[in-house]
Chain A
Amino acid sequence: MKKNDVILIASLLIICAISLLAIKLWQKQSTTDKSYVRVEVDGKVYGTYPLNEERTEKIQFENGSYNVLVIKDGKADITEASCPDQICVRHMPIHYSDESIVCLPNKLTVTVVGGQENEIDATTN
């Protein structure tokens, strides 16, 4: 390894560790008890569901593919999906504001929205 390699590796790791920490803190901070999840398909809002109500929602697509969204204990999770990579299923349940689960093959995203008053107004208008 050259000196440049060491500098590269060290700076990548340090910068990313700090930003990761900052992102997590900020997400935690902007989470309220009014948080909800927003499901988007292909960039368009499919539905929004409050995080404090238990529910199971099967998102079915025309071509037969699907994702199953389960909201339980204030957390949202994809428990089942038809996609070949199953990346969305493996993601941990999400709870904090701006955390998201993504299913690339189905073009689906599930995002937690913090639930502050102005954000709700912005999405309902």
Chain B
Amino acid sequence: MNTKKISYLGLLIALAFVLSYVEALLPISIGIPGMKIGLANLVVMVALYTIGSKNAFMLSVVRVLLVSLTFGNFAMMLYSMAGALLSFVVMFVAKRSKKFSITGVSVLGGVFHNVGQIIVAIFVLETSKLVYYLPVLIIVGTITGMVIGLVAGMIIKRIGGWKDICYGSKSSM
């Protein structure tokens, strides 16, 4: 990993951290646990398509740790981590399969982020009643994932050129 790559990753982590903070400030919660707009997923998507899956994975783990340590508590970290990991795995597989464009990958990421959190909540609280939240969570995840996917697509297109300057034209990893 060269210096440029490290600083780029650092920049993305900082950006993801800021977006998580912004999202926490937005008073849009309707009281359903696990519901997120997933602004930070925008950064994870950009990382996944520009600096590869390993770095994108590191980014999403570090982001959850930073955000939970700063704004939350241990229990909340568990939920965020479950959401982030499940979402990442699904996005990774969906991207690999080449069956979906950036938008589709982002939709799956958004949906499984919410689903992952509610699954942990079901186990921790031992309340199966939380499955009733699934349809709402999936609808919200689909819509936000769609918007974030479209924005991520635009960013990735533009970063593409800059990335080539950084790593040379053969930057796939």
Contacts and interface: CB of A to CB of B under 8 A. Distances in A.
B125 A43 contact: yes
Given A2-B101, A12-B142, A102 B33 contact: yes
B100 interface: yes
A20 B121 contact: no
A66 to B, nearest CB: 15
B160 interface: no
Interface string A9-29: 100110011011001000100
B33 to A, nearest CB: 5
Interface in A76-109: 84-92, 98-102, 104-105, 107, 109
B127 A111 contact: yes
Interface in B117-168: 121, 124-127, 129-130, 132, 134-136, 138-139, 142, 146
B29 interface: yes
27 contacts: A1-B103, A2-B100, A5-B101, A8-B107, A9-B107, A9-B146, A16-B136, A16-B142, A17-B139, A23-B132, A40-B127, A43-B125, A84-B73, A84-B76, A90-B30, A98-B132, A100-B127, A100-B130, A102-B121, A102-B127, A102-B130, A104-B124, A105-B75, A107-B124, A109-B127, A109-B129, A111-B129
8 residue pairs, one from A and one from B, having the closest CB atoms: A91-B31, A5-B104, A43-B126, A90-B31, A16-B135, A20-B135, A2-B101, A19-B135
Interface of B: 29-33, 71-73, 75-76, 79, 99-101, 103-104, 107-108, 111, 121, 124-127, 129-130, 132, 134-136, 138-139, 142, 146
Interface of A: 1-2, 4-5, 8-9, 12-13, 16-17, 19-20, 23, 27, 40, 42-43, 84-92, 98-102, 104-105, 107, 109, 111
